[in-house]
Amino acid sequence: MPWEEFEWFVKRIKDIMNLDLSGYKPERVKRRIEMLIRKYNCKSYKEYLDMILKDNKKKDEFLDKLTINVTEFFRNPEKWFELRDKFLPELLAKSGSRFKAWSAGCSSGEEPYTIAILLEELKAPSSVKVLATDIDMGVLTKAQIGEYDERSMVSTPPEYIQKYFIVKDGRYIVKPNVKARVQFRKHNLLQDPFEKDFDLITCRNVVIYFEMEAKDMLYRKFSESLKHGGILFVGNTERIFNYKALNLEVASPFIYRKI
């Protein structure tokens, strides 16, 4: 379908839904939208837009397909264990009950619950919480329920499953003490303001879907949101090349410290 139609659609989505897609890689966005257009045999972007504005289920499907919601507990486990053994104890010793963590682009909740499990393991004060945000209300609702299938658990140590989940009928249900540490909130990384004074920010396998200009803006804002000595933990497919200009240092591969 013509680029002009796609660009018109992106502008209309911003005007109507206050959803700015301009920071995402356009080829990826166009491909995903056109898969949905074909699915419903729509003849144009306009016909598809009219349909999702009249049907909330199809609108939710559109938002879900546009945001990447594939994740799991302890994805790349060796990095999480490094965080547990080396970085989190230092941060907790420094901030104590004032420790603040943010899981940005948290999807269906596996990442913030992973942080909460590590806080339980390290016996962090019960007042220590994890802010978990995403643009997609559908995945946030799922995250708040805290029930997962086996696919989400492939990297989780068996002893953690035993300690922190109730296993029932093939489902893995996050225990209340872990859930109590996580606060879910809707947040648009490209548009909404960022809170400050975080000890830990995790944003993994989200920024790769953004254009370079949006990536640079996000990493700068993440750095500004960290305390001195705070940690930014990114995905194993992501690197921050201009980290020195952002007052960051490489503490370990994919783990950056604010200096």
Please give the C-alpha separations between residue 66 and each of 28, 59, 129, 200, in angstroms, as whole numbers. Answer: 9, 11, 28, 27
Alpha helices in 207-252 (DSSP H): 212-225
Contact 169, 178 (CB under 8 A): no
Residue 117: φ, ψ to 5°: -60, -45
Judged by average pLDDT, the poorest of 28-42, 118-132, 138-152, 203-217 is 203-217
Fold of the 77-258 domain: Rossmann fold (3.40.50)
pLDDT digits 0-9 by tens, 207-248? 777 878 888 999 999 999 999 999 999 987 788 989 999 999
Nearest Cα neighbor of 208 from 222, 194, 218 is: 218
Structure token digits, residue 254 = 């994919």
Contact 172, 72 (CB under 8 A): no
- Binned at pLDDT 50, 70 and 90, residue 111 comes out as very high
- The domains of the chain are located at 3-66, 77-258
pLDDT digits 0-9 by tens, 132-187? 999 888 889 999 999 998 888 989 999 999 999 999 998 999 999 999 999 999 99
Angstrom distance (rounded) from CA 133 to CA 122? 23
